[in-house]
Copies of this chain bind each other. A is one copy, B any other.
Amino acid sequence: MVRMRTRKNDMNTNKVSKTLLKRLPVYLNYIKTLPEHTESISATKIAKALDLGDVLVRKDLAKVSDGGRRKLGYVREDLIRDIEEFLDVNRTACAVIVGAGKLGQALLDYDGFEKSGLQILAGFDICPGGPRTGGGKPIFPMSRLEAYCRANDVTIGIITVPAEHAQKVCDQLVACDVEAIWNFSPVHLSVPEHVVIQSENLAVSLTALRMQMKNRG
């Protein structure tokens, strides 16, 4: 009798905590960078390598995989598969970047997002400048944004314009029916409730870093 691979009941029903979601890609990356011949890996070892508590890692892994075997740990490639499945990295979302300055171009050219399930199709800017960036992706004028998004199933808008234009650009992207905004400008953006927003505010990170230094030194 063929038995379907069963998943833990709570795997999909339980809400996943945001902190777990942030750790899973880190685990995944670490496990993937282990030497090829590594057969198995334990939560304890991952915890030590990543400076985390072992119980924490054990619980995290239990939430996304039932491949854990007492005394043995996890089979490496099974664990990779389970995490990837959980994170749904194979379902690719399409994105555009608005703002083709240095940062925008850096993101446009970076090919590392594809293994996290993101394909950045094109950039948009008020003055499109050179027709293509080094990485070979096109940069279009803003006037073509909406048509492009609708024609190419763009679900994520990435904002890399200066702070003063960010909200306006955000509104334009929302009008293109993107489902999510990934914001790299240092301002809080207002979006309708159905739109997901994630802000990378480097000034915030920097301040956190500096305060930690202050508390140590």
B residues in contact with A75, CB < 8 Å? none
CB–CB B105/A187 < 8 A:
no
Q: Are A214 and B88 closer than 8 Å at their CB atoms?
A: yes
Residues of B within 8 A of A217 (CB): 179
Alpha-carbon gap, A84 to B56, bound state (A): 36
Residues of B within 8 Å of A5, CB to CB, are: none
Contact of A216 among B88, B113, B194, B208 (CB under 8 A): B194
Interface size class of A (residues with CB under 8 A): 35 or more
- Asked if B118 contacts A206 (CB within 8 A), the reply is yes
Name A30's closest neighbour in chain B (CB-CB): B188
Would you give the 0/1 interface string for A167-184, flagging 1 where the beta carbon is closer than 8 Å to chain B?
000000000000110100
Task: Given A30-B188, A188-B50, check contact A205 B194 (CB 8 Å).
Answer: no
Copies assembled = 2
Instruction: Determine the residue in chain B with the shortest Cβ distance to A190.
Output: B51
Which of chain B's residues have a CB closer than 8 A to the CB of A201? Answer: 25-26
Q: Closest Cβ of chain B: how far from A133's Cβ, in Å?
A: 9
**B205 contacts A202, C-beta separation under 8 Å:** no
Spell out A's residues near B (CB within 8 Å).
Answer: 16, 18, 21-22, 24-26, 29-30, 33, 49-51, 87-89, 93, 101-103, 105-106, 109-110, 112-113, 115-118, 134, 155-156, 179-180, 182, 186-188, 190, 194, 196, 198, 200-214, 216-217
